[in-house]
A and B are shown apart, each in its own frame.
Chain A
Amino acid sequence: MVQAVASAPPRLTARGTTAAATVVVEDVRKSYNDVHALNGVSLQVPQGTVLGLLGPNGAGKTTLVRTLTTLLRPDSGRATVAGYDVVRDAEALRASIGLAGQAAAVDDYLTGLENLEMVGRLYHLPKGEARRRAVDLLERFELSDAGARRASTYSGGMRRRLDLAASLIAYPPVLFLDEPTTGLDPRSRVGMWEVIQGLVDDGTTVLLTTQYLEEADALADRITVIDHGAVIAEGTAAELKRQSAQSVLSVQVEHDADLPEARAILGRLGQQEPHVDEQERRVSVGTDGGSEVLASAVRDLDAAGVRIADLGLRQPTLDDVFLALTGHAAENGGSQDDDADGESARGGV
């Protein structure tokens, strides 16, 4: 759906080890009355890398993005973006960033082109340059045909793309994307990843929040998981996955009534407390065992008279990591539930 800015070669370099950090957050706190939205967050985003900020609803992701884009003042702690302090150098900081917030900032009564030009002018680009980039971005986001139409006639995905295009009009060195692909269809989402990847290849530093573990996995050099306003895990996708068990044993039962029995059996076979998804009638547990665990599971479940709909042993996904860390599954915002375990290698029985 969306064309890549530049062809995105596979990333082989280990980034961020030597480069200076472009975003630095040190013990930032922010409360709303008695809600500690940020409870002492520290993190760094090296130049030219993508940090995926992962967390359930209400974790504090948006609050952190708003703090780093000068929309909110932290109660305490320190944060800098591109060397500018979010409080003291707020004005200079704003000239170096692009923001696509969680709610699309699109002016319904303006055309797509007018929207982009206006934002360009507000970054103080000369008129001609603002228009040139606006036309270019419309093309890149496959909105050229709709560029002369009012944004009120755009579909949700088109608005989201226009919003993202607006955040890019100044070619900012640092980009903040708050759930950039929420509401996009899978094809547009992959297209958006390519655009973001292209920007990163050109040296842009990106901090993006997401509820899609798959997205963080595909895009982020490093992932920071936050919950209740605090960082609970940090690392590359592979590192995070290694923190959880070697594999996940997962069973779906035919009847709700069998769930407790299945839970008990998997509890005996696994290394952790099993997780029960009642809606899916599925029980899963981390295990370090191999196919013999699978065999035991079949035998024990069968002996107990539990009817199995699906049974498998698979690689842990970030979902499992998330589950282990927060005690609840990542919420997918209701719009995506089909492709969350894209990499699971399921050995069905």
Chain B
Amino acid sequence: MTSIAVPAPTSSNKLSWVVSDALVMAKRNIIRMSRRPDYVIFSTIQPVMFIVLFNYVFGGAIATGTANYIDFLIPGILIQTVLFGSFNTGVGLAEDLKAGMIDRYKSLPMSRSAVVAGRIIADTLNNAFQIVLMLGVAFLIGFRFHGTPIESLGVPLIALMFSVPFLWVAAAIGVTLKSAEAVQSAGFLWLFPFTFVSSAFVPVETMASWVQVLAENNPVTIVIDAVRGLTYGDPSMSAIWQSVAWSVGLTVVAAALAVDRYRRV
């Protein structure tokens, strides 16, 4: 009956399985997303709606110091959207942990990190898609880059890079809470203050003074300032380096936490 045997784990093929198994899971997640109307709406219509609403509703009222509110808005909304995209990661993992599926995964000789890593890879691709979509729509309603092509390219790249640690944090929460509803509530509790107490939608100087302290030290503000500088063609190298440092540091901590949590499921 046996024609090709299942390869036994050795130290060398285990290393390559970390990647190949994660890709198998990523493919599965992308297929799932594309077949779920709720995901498709969440990741296409919603960000576009936000751009249009914020621009035409708040655009006149919020004094940003520049002539064009949309140029101020887009960096903030890019970051906000990819951070909120992490809901998908947490909810999706919680769903995966429901009876049945997770038992199968854990009984297979697959890499232990693949379920979580495959989710992160798929959601990072989804974020990349959303960033491109949002920049396209923004362009149609008047958004423009003011820097060099390299600086402009930095905008989507930093936004995408900064999304990764939040996907891992959401993954850790998803694997810990194991219920889609609980993950939703938890997401609102930490993501809302995080994104709104920042320079995402209004300049920090316009906030109450005690909130200003929080907002200025919020990594979300630092990243948005970096992205905004690149958009305006006036990049702040220190904000860019700090963004990279925050992204890498948070990713390492959150990924370790998420994989550790998964092992204990």
Q: Which residues of A contact B (CB under 8 A)?
A: 5, 66, 69-71, 91-92, 94-97, 99, 101, 103-107, 109-110, 114, 118-119, 121-126, 129, 150, 166, 170-172, 202-203
Q: Which of B1-38 contact A (CB under 8 A)?
A: 1-4, 6-9, 13-14, 17, 20-21, 24, 28, 31-32, 35-36
Q: Among the listed A91, A97, A105, A170, which residue makes an inter-chain contact with B103, where contact means beta carbons less than 8 Å apart?
A: A105
- A121 with B24: in contact, given A104-B100, A110-B31, A170-B6 (CB under 8 Å)? yes
**B103–A66 touching, CB < 8 Å:** yes
**CB nearest neighbor in A for B98:** A103
Q: Out of A99, A125, A129, A170, name the residue touching B104 (CB < 8 Å).
A: A99
User: B17 contacts A107, CB within 8 Å?
Assistant: no
By beta carbon, the residue of chain B nearest A199 is B1
Q: Please tell me if the beta carbons of B17 and A119 are within 8 angstroms of each other in the complex.
A: no
Structural contact, B32 and A107, CB atoms closer than 8 A: yes
Point out the residues of chain B lying under 8 angstroms from A122, CB to CB. Answer: 21, 24, 105, 108-110, 114
Identify B2's interface contact among A69, A104, A124, A171, CB under 8 A.
A171
Residues of A contacting B20 in the complex (Cβ-Cβ under 8 angstroms): 124
Q: Which residues of A contact B101 (CB under 8 A)?
A: 105-107
Q: What are 16 residue pairs bridging A and B, where the CB atoms are less than 8 Å apart in the complex? A: A5-B1, A94-B109, A95-B6, A95-B8, A95-B9, A97-B107, A101-B103, A101-B104, A103-B100, A114-B28, A121-B24, A122-B110, A124-B17, A125-B4, A171-B1, A171-B6
CA distance A109 to B13 in the complex (A): 30
Residue numbers in B under 8 Å from A107 (CB-CB): 28, 32, 101
B106 CB within 8 Å of chain A: yes
- A5, A71, A106, A110: the one within 8 Å of B28 (CB): A110
* One of B17, B32, B104 near A105 (C-beta < 8 A): B104
Indicate if the CB atoms of B24 and A123 lie closer than 8 Å. Answer: no
Is B57 among interface residues, defined by CB-CB distance under 8 A? no
**Contact A125-B103, Cβ < 8 Å, known A107-B28, A109-B35:** no
Known A-B contacts A101-B100, A171-B1; the reply to A71 vs B7 at CB < 8 A is no
The range of chain B's interface size is 20 to 34
Contact of A70 among B7, B32, B107, B114 (CB under 8 A): B107
Residues of A near B8 (CB, < 8 A) are 92, 95
Q: Which residues of B contact A106 (CB under 8 A)?
A: 100-101
Q: Is the CB of B31 within 8 A of A109?
A: yes
- Across the interface, which residues of B come within 8 angstroms of A105, CB to CB? 100-101, 103-104
B99 contacts the other chain (Cβ, under 8 Å)?
yes
Interface members, chain B 210-249 (any A CB < 8 Å): none
- Give the distance in Å from the alpha carbon of A283 to the alpha carbon of B32 in the complex: 54
Chain B residues closer than 8 Å to A121, beta-carbon distance: 24
CB pair B104 A166 closer than 8 Å: yes
CA–CA, A121 to B7, complex, Å? 11
**Chain B residues whose C-beta falls within 8 Å of the C-beta of A70 in the assembled complex:** 106-107
CB closest residue in chain A, given B23: A121
In the complex, the answer to whether A94 meets B107 with C-beta atoms within 8 Å is yes
The CA of A123 and the CA of B109, in the complex, are separated in Å by 6
Interchain CA distance A10-B91 in the complex, whole Å: 50
Chain B residues near A171: list those with CB within 8 A.
1-2, 6
Residues of chain B within 8 A (CB-CB) of A92 are 8-9, 109
Given A99-B104, A126-B4, 17 more pairs with CB closer than 8 A: A92-B8, A92-B109, A94-B108, A95-B6, A99-B107, A103-B100, A105-B100, A105-B101, A105-B104, A107-B32, A110-B31, A119-B104, A122-B110, A122-B114, A124-B17, A171-B1, A202-B1
Contact A99 B4 (CB under 8 A): no
* Distance from A139 Cβ to chain B, minimum over Cβ atoms (Å): 15
**5 tightest A-B contacts by CB?**
A105-B104, A103-B100, A95-B109, A105-B100, A94-B109
Report A106 CB to chain B, min CB distance, Å. Answer: 7
On whether the beta carbons of B4 and A123 are closer than 8 Å, the reply is: no
Residues of A within 8 A of B106 (CB): 70-71
- Asked whether, in the complex, the Cβ of B6 is within 8 Å of the Cβ of A125, the reply is yes
In the complex, per-residue mask of B102-123: 1 if CB is within 8 Å of any chain A CB, else 0: 0111111110001000000000
Q: Which residues of B contact A119 (CB under 8 A)?
A: 104, 108
Q: Give complex CA distance A114, B14 in Å.
A: 24
B103→A99 contact, CB < 8 A: yes
Inside 8 A of B109's CB, which chain A residues have their CB?
Answer: 91-92, 94-95, 122-124
**For the complex, what is the distance from the CA of A123 to the CA of B28, rounded to whole Å?**
15
Q: Is A95's CB under 8 angstroms from B7's CB?
A: yes
Contacts of B13 in A (CB 8 A): 124
Give the nearest-CB partner of A62 in chain B. B103
Alpha-carbon distance between A162 and B9 when the two chains are bound, in angstroms: 26
Smallest Cβ distance from B93 to chain A, in angstroms? 14
Chain B hits for A166, CB < 8 A: 104
Bound CA span A118–B29, Å: 11
User: For residue B99, which residues in chain A have a CB less than 8 angstroms away from its CB?
Assistant: 103
Known: A118-B24, A122-B24. A109 touches B36 (CB 8 A): yes
A124 to chain B, nearest CB (A): 5
Which residues of chain A come closer than 8 Å to B24, judged between CB atoms?
118, 121-122
Task: Report chain A residues within 8 Å CB of B32.
Answer: 107, 109-110
A204 to B167, CA, bound (A): 42
Which of B3, B6, B35, B105 meets A124, CB within 8 Å? B6
Contact between chains at A118 and B4 (CB < 8 Å): no
Complex: A172 Cα to B14 Cα, angstroms: 19
In the docked arrangement, what's the CA distance between A91 and B106, Å?
10
Which residue of the partner chain A has the closest CB to B115?
A122
Assembled-state Cα–Cα distance A70/B9 (Å): 15
A126 surroundings in chain B (CB, below 8 A): 4
